[in-house]
Amino acid sequence: MSAAVPDALLPVALQELKLLENGKHWSIDQPLSELTSLTPVRGSLSAVHRGNVLELEGEASTIVTLCCDRCLQHFNHPLSFRTREVLWLGEQARLDGIAPETVLEGNLEILELDPDALSESLDPSGDFDPEHWVFEQLNLQLPVVNRCGEGCPGPNLSREASAQDRVIDPRWAALKQLEP
């Protein structure tokens, strides 16, 4: 008995997804080309074509190395997401004035679909790129400010030199006169 091989996260034509009644499901256990990580990205993703929308549901996790913005030391940071998203298939402007119930074909649990919530759209004759979608979801989880932790030592400034020993940039010399 062989172990299950994860599906390659290759782009799939939306017209191909439309023909699959239960959609397409991916088991993820691989590195992503757009994300440098210490561990392979592991998780799952499903995409179901629902007429005018593409319903996506997925979860994944990995570990990345970041640089602390304060002390400049590298540290490992876990990234993970669990999300559900609905992408409009077609031009966004076409959604204006259409009742949410008419947008959906099939049995989608989100019956109270807010047309304004569908800010993302795909060309219905194009492809869905699962690897890029997973990358985007993980990228959204990156911290805005990178801190290595509560015990961050802060900037590594040499405090041994006395104030007199420091060379002062001539552009700041006038401010030196204001020092008490």
Would you place residue 124 in the very low, low, confident or very high pLDDT band (cuts 50, 70, 90)? confident
CA distances to 21, 29, 73, 79, 105 from 110, in Å = 18, 29, 45, 27, 12
Dist CA 15 CA 20 (whole Å): 9
pLDDT of amino acid 119 = 64
Q: Which domain holds residue 60?
A: 12-176
At which residue do the structure tokens 């998203």 appear? Answer: 85
Dist CA 141 CA 147 (whole Å): 14
Look at residue 69 and tell me if it is in a domain: yes
Look at residue 3 and tell me if it is in a domain: no
Look at residue 109 and tell me if it is in a domain: yes
Look at residue 148 and tell me if it is in a domain: yes
Look at residue 152 and tell me if it is in a domain: yes
Would you place residue 126 in the very low, low, confident or very high pLDDT band (cuts 50, 70, 90)? confident
**Per mean pLDDT, which range of 14-18, 53-57, 114-118 is the poorest?**
114-118
Look at residue 5 and tell me if it is in a domain: no
Dist CA 37 CA 66 (whole Å): 10
Look at residue 7 and tell me if it is in a domain: no
Look at the chain and report how many structural domains it folds into: 1
Look at residue 1 and tell me if it is in a domain: no
